[in-house]
Structure 1
Amino acid sequence: MPQQTDAERELAQLLVESLNLEGVEPDAIDPQAPLFNEGLGLDSIDALELSLAIGKRYGVQLRSDGEDNRRIFASLRALSAHVQSQRTG
């Protein structure tokens, strides 16, 4: 499995905490695996919760109807790269 970067590890921790993922270790999330469907199995409600948590923690607004969401939420790595590029603080 590819190694997580520090930013990915921090985001994985936020993901597990904000979504109350039982039995999922943040370190065990493959940064290149899909977050939805066959990967972590997240759904649209999870995406909304995660968007709110990211907004609070990083000041990055993710719109639920954003046309880039499929790309942004493709994997932990893609999400982390987007958050890092959009951070306000």
Structure 2
Amino acid sequence: MEQLHTELKTLIIDVLNLEDIGVEDIDTDAPLFNDGLGLDSIDALELGLAIKKTYNIVIDADDTNTRQHFASVANLANYISQNKA
């Protein structure tokens, strides 16, 4: 799971062009939005597309649980590991 956390942090940095942030700067359990990393809804869309491309997992934007899946790196990693073929 640790490796998946690192992969996701790298994906977030690459996809969203967060040049001033390193993998070690992203707390696995910290919120990705608002007070945490400060991502917004457009970032979430880009990240969702990158996850689809990288892990072949579709995160349904209309699903009521989507906000929970995107809450932190840890939540995203759990969702991906549960849904990977």
Into which bin does the TM-score normalised by the smaller protein fall?
A: over 0.9
Runs of 4+ more than 2 Å apart:
none
Tell me the residue number matched to 1:19.
Answer: 16
> In the aligned structure 2, how far is the partner of 1:65 from the partner of 1:34?
20
In the alignment, which of 47, 52, 56 is matched to residue 49 of structure 2? 52
Task: Give structure 2 stretches of 5+ with no counterpart.
Answer: none
TM-fit CA distance, 1:65: 2.0
- Matched residue pairs, number? 85
Task: Give structure 1 stretches of 5+ with no counterpart.
Answer: none
Letter in 1 for 2:37: L
- TM-score, structure 2 normalization: 0.93
Percent of aligned positions that are identical: 44
RMSD between aligned alpha carbons? 1.2
In the alignment, which of 30, 38, 42 is matched to residue 41 of structure 1? 38
Tell me the residue number matched to 1:69.
Answer: 66
TM-fit CA distance, 1:64: 1.9
